[in-house]
Amino acid sequence: MKKLFAFLLVVCGLASFSFLRDPGNRYYELTKNMEIFSNVYKEINYYYVDDIEPGKLMKIGIDAMLNSLDPYTNYFSEAQVESYRFTQEGKYHGIGAGIKMMDGLPTITELFEESPAYKNGARVGDQIVTVEGKPVAGKSKDEIDAMMQGAAESNLNVTVKRLGESKELPFSIPRGEVDVPNVPFSGMVSDRVGYINLTIFTDQAGAHVMKALNDLKKNNPTMSGLILDLRDNPGGLLREAVNVSNVFIPRNELVVTTKGKVKEWDREFKTLQNPTDDKIPLVVIVDKGSASASEIVSGVLQDLDRAVILGQRSYGKGLVQNTRQIGYNGQVKMTTAKYYIPSGRCIQAVEYEKGEPKAIPDSLRAEFRTKSGRKVLDGGGVKPDVIMESEKMPEIIHQLSSKDVIFKYANYYKNTHKDIKPLKEYKYSEYDDFKKFVSNSKFSYTSIVEDGLSQLKEKAKTSPEWEKIKSQYEALEKSTHADQTALLDKHVDQISKIIEIVVTILNRQIMHQIMWVAA
């Protein structure tokens, strides 16, 4: 009997081996290519002329492999898991300050209410000079981020340079769990219309929208309409998309269905609670930055004829991701399904170009019907019921914002003026002061035409024909030169309004997001 049993084991082993070695078998291809990849990795590690960083090389290989699939399938190393946790939960361990490099120094551009940084005296506009006694000048943002990392509850010791202070200021800030609010603002835009801004679908997004709505109704008994602002909301947790929808639609209503390769994972998600208010007239604002969970909510409310969708076509992300642990505290986030909203449509963009969804003409999109029979289209995002194109920002204002000139001036202005009122009462009236600040800064406006001509010049100078066309080029260059002072005067009203907003936000010191960037 033992011999028979041993014989059967050998036969089964040979059968399974031949199964794996069958060139037409999927598992054979998988095994073969894993072996090839492993061999290449080992050979490079042993014999490549220069020393390599094995971890860095492997991450490059993994990233390249995943990038061939879709923009949302990613690998997170142990060091990156904390930032991923923030995108999912709205929480992370740190000091509660966002930084941006300005003039070679990390500058605080965001502070969260009740964060360790705020409670210990840091302020928006502070420039970090040293971290743990080590100068940061000349280092990259990634290097500085690494210097600032540390264990939860430990202290981060920094010195900062603050406009208006003659000496550098030392701070010792305890690292703690920072909870970033997903509803940073709610209020009334008129006597009868309320407004709720939802910036990301992290944990408790539905509960926070419900609370904001209840507070608005309680404090404003005459409120008879609501605006839900989902502009630039990148999405987040699927369950919170269901919960936010549930604020406005009845219990047991189908919100979204997910369908993927593993049929056992296909699911329907329905609302579980009674609505907070399923009657109040509702407008949802979306734009090209509204993605994923934002598109579920806006699409569901559109499919059920519960809201009017206003703005620009949304991003077009109809894919569901799940994370899998892959050892050594690393994770892979991969697309496992597509989601379908109540009309049956999927809003996923079908093509990408340089990681961004390509526009799909309406003629190529399939038709579906809302609950009342209105026509809606699938693919390429949610098309608003009322389309409002975003205002085109003049290029000089875009450059003043993107090059931080407005931020720096507003910070200087705030620190030299002590009587700044709330935005509704505040009127900025020192535009000549701003023009002087711009003149003294290193800012130099270059139009798109001038930039293009400059690039053309660099190429043309290498040609033997350059001397023949040089005078013509210089004449063209002169005719297209933008007068910076004239442009500042032309856009005085728009720039003054932006300055008003930034100054009043900086004066409050709590910035949940960089609202002042002209975009």
One-letter amino acid identity for 286?
V
β-strand pairing of 225-229 with 282-286? parallel
The pLDDT > 90 percentage for the chain reads: 42
Clarify whether 303 is annotated catalytic.
yes
CB 511 within 8 A of CB 417: no
pLDDT value, residue 479:
85
Cα–Cα distance between 63 and 86 in angstroms, integer? 21
pLDDT tens over the chain, length 519 residues: 444 444 434 434 444 444 445 555 777 888 888 888 889 888 888 888 888 888 888 888 888 888 888 777 888 766 565 555 545 555 556 788 888 899 899 999 888 777 888 888 898 889 999 999 999 999 988 788 878 877 778 899 999 998 778 899 999 999 877 777 889 889 999 999 999 999 999 889 999 999 999 999 999 999 999 999 999 999 988 999 999 999 999 999 999 999 988 888 899 999 999 999 999 999 999 999 999 999 999 999 999 999 999 999 999 988 887 778 877 777 888 888 888 999 999 988 777 666 677 777 878 788 999 999 999 988 888 999 999 987 788 999 999 999 999 999 998 898 888 888 887 788 999 999 999 999 999 898 988 888 888 888 888 888 888 888 888 888 888 888 878 999 999 999 999 999 998 888 887 655 444 333 332
Decide: residue 309, CB within 10 A, 0-12 exposed, 13-18 middle, 19+ buried.
buried
Q: Which helix (H) or strand (E) holds 392?
A: none
Selected catalytic residue, list 115, 245, 290, 292: 292
Tens digit of each residue's pLDDT (9 = 90 or more) over 158-213: 999 987 788 999 999 998 777 778 898 899 999 999 999 999 998 899 999 999 99
Decide: residue 483, CB within 10 A, 0-12 exposed, 13-18 middle, 19+ buried.
exposed
Tens digit of each residue's pLDDT (9 = 90 or more) over 326-373: 777 778 888 888 889 999 999 887 776 666 777 778 787 889 999 999
Cα–Cα distance between 328 and 338 in angstroms, integer? 29
Clarify whether 317 is annotated catalytic.
yes
pLDDT value, residue 14:
41
Cα–Cα distance between 242 and 200 in angstroms, integer? 14
Residues 420, 423, 425, 431, CA torsion sign: positive
Cα–Cα distance between 444 and 399 in angstroms, integer? 9
Residues 362, 365, 371, 224, CA torsion sign: negative
Tens digit of each residue's pLDDT (9 = 90 or more) over 453-487: 888 888 888 888 888 888 888 888 888 887 899 99
Selected catalytic residue, list 229, 314, 317, 408: 317
| 355-364 burial: b if 16+ Cβ within 10 Å, else e | eebeebeeee
pTM of the model as a whole = 0.74
* Cα angle 103-109-113, degrees, rounded to a multiple of 5: 160
Beta bridge partner(s), residue 134: 131
Beta bridge partner(s), residue 230: none
CB 270 within 8 A of CB 255: yes
**DSSP label at residue 263:** G
DSSP string covering 230-288 = -TT---B-HHHHHHHHHTTS-TT-EEEEEEESSGGG-EEEE--S--S-SSS-EEEEE-T
CB 313 within 8 A of CB 338: no
pLDDT value, residue 22:
54
Selected catalytic residue, list 126, 179, 303, 404: 303
SS3 134: strand
Cα–Cα distance between 336 and 311 in angstroms, integer? 30
CB 122 within 8 A of CB 171: yes
